Amino acid sequence: MKENFNVNVNSEVGDLEAVIIHTVGREVENMTPENAERALYSDILNLSVARQEYVQLSGVLGKICKVFEVEELLASILRNDKVKNDLLTKVCTNCSDHRVLTLLDSLAPKALAQQLIEGVETRRDSLSRYLSQQRYVVRPLHNFFFTRDASVSIGNKVLISSMASPVRERESQIMEAIFDYYPDFNTSTFSAAKSGNKCKTLSIEGGDVLIAREDVTIIGIGSRTTPEGVDVIIEKMKEKESVHHIIVQELPTERESFIHLDMVFTFLSQNECMVYEPVVMQPNRFKTIHIKIDKRKVTITEEKNILECLSHLGMDLQPIYCGGTADQWTQEREQWHSGANFFAIGPGKVIGYNRNEATVEELNKHNYQVIAAEDVISGKTDLKEIQKYVVTIDGSELSRGGGGARCMTMPVRRKEV
């Protein structure tokens, strides 16, 4: 008997019950140095190593909750002809080769799901196609293993992101179809792109959206999420009868490691957070704005920083510093490799990269027991017996994609804290 997974996420740290991931596949390998920048990468990944590292993440998650794979979910809904036709129409709207729709429509659901993610190669059977510089007529989704970005669980609803780059638009289209049509997900979606706001600069991505509490959302604005994207959330929260707070954190845009808020700030428990100090804590550098929505009335004020604003709302958090406190260079190096990007699978129970040694050491100083992912997967360590821990996964290759454990996970359901 199948279990219905009612979408419900009212915090960043409630015990994880269901999550969506996408194990890295050939779409990562279908990239060259020449097109890496267009794919939003600064380097190309070694698939075999990246997959070994990803297996550690999925293996740990499989020990504690229900794990859904994007490709399997997509193949399941593509058995419905209406869903398939609607999705293919969206995907093929701007394809240069008019035959692509016919080709994809002829594929079985599993093969079609694979092609929509890994890309469709150009067939060299005419002179124009033979001379084309494009290897793919439908480009691979190189970034899709960062499942956090394309959709966001907010309470019992799902926000479908409006991605900053067109190369990731199909990720949102796929996630919208999954949440609208996969029968075991009881939810409704709302799309930033369909909000009625026609502003060309509107974008919002999941890495910038943190659910602090049922009535408190934190959103980063920078290179991936714009103020117009936050306006979509404001309008949605006006529908609530209760008061809602949105904390907006301005992010630097000069470095790709700052693309999302969760690269500098993540929750670890009800009273602890991981912070990259130079961005989050230093005054007068980047604005922190508090938006209060009460009976459709919007009040906007400026705050000193995220932690002080949360404290005013009854959430007192102790910061733990990415890279430790001894050396600024170490902080910068570890933040670059997603040292602040932790994923909470429960209060005080988190996953992150073992390569960020100073950050892991700092967690250990705050009573987080350090556990290797392989010990969890093999059964050597039972997480149920430990109150507070950080599970470390290998990340020499995955981190080069520009994200960490939070980026690679999209929670569907959490227990209430």
Which of these, 239, 301, 238, 309, lies nearest to 273 by C-alpha position? 309
In 134-271, beta strands by DSSP E:
136-138, 151-154, 157-160, 185-186, 188-191, 209-213, 216-221, 244-250, 265-267
Beta-strand pair 185-186/5-6: parallel
Domain spanning 18-85+139-414: CATH superfamily: L-arginine/glycine Amidinotransferase; Chain A (3.75.10.10)
Residue 199 has what pLDDT?
78
Q: Bridge partners of 266? A: 274
Residue 31 has what pLDDT?
59
pLDDT, tens digit, 9 for 90 and up, residues 18-47 = 999 999 998 887 655 555 444 444 567 888
pLDDT, tens digit, 9 for 90 and up, residues 80-105 = 999 999 999 999 887 767 788 889 99
- Name the pTM for this structure: 0.94
Using pLDDT thresholds of 50, 70 and 90, give the confidence band for residue 167: confident
Give me the residue spans of the domains in the chain.
18-85+139-414, 86-138
Separation CA 366–CA 412 (nearest Å): 29
Span 335-359, mean pLDDT?
97
Query: What is the chain's length?
Result: 417
**pLDDT > 80? residue 71:** yes
Residues 6+ apart with CB under 8 A from 251: 220, 221, 222, 223, 258, 260, 261, 264, 279, 286
Using pLDDT thresholds of 50, 70 and 90, give the confidence band for residue 380: very high
Rounded to the nearest angstrom, the gap between the alpha carbon of residue 318 and the centroid of all alpha carbons in its chain is 24
Residues 6+ apart with CB under 8 A from 409: 19, 20, 21, 57, 61, 147, 148, 343
Q: Where are the alpha helices (DSSP H) in 26-137?
A: 26-29, 33-36, 47-64, 70-77, 81-91, 100-105, 109-118, 127-131
Cβ neighbours, 10 Å, residue 200: 7
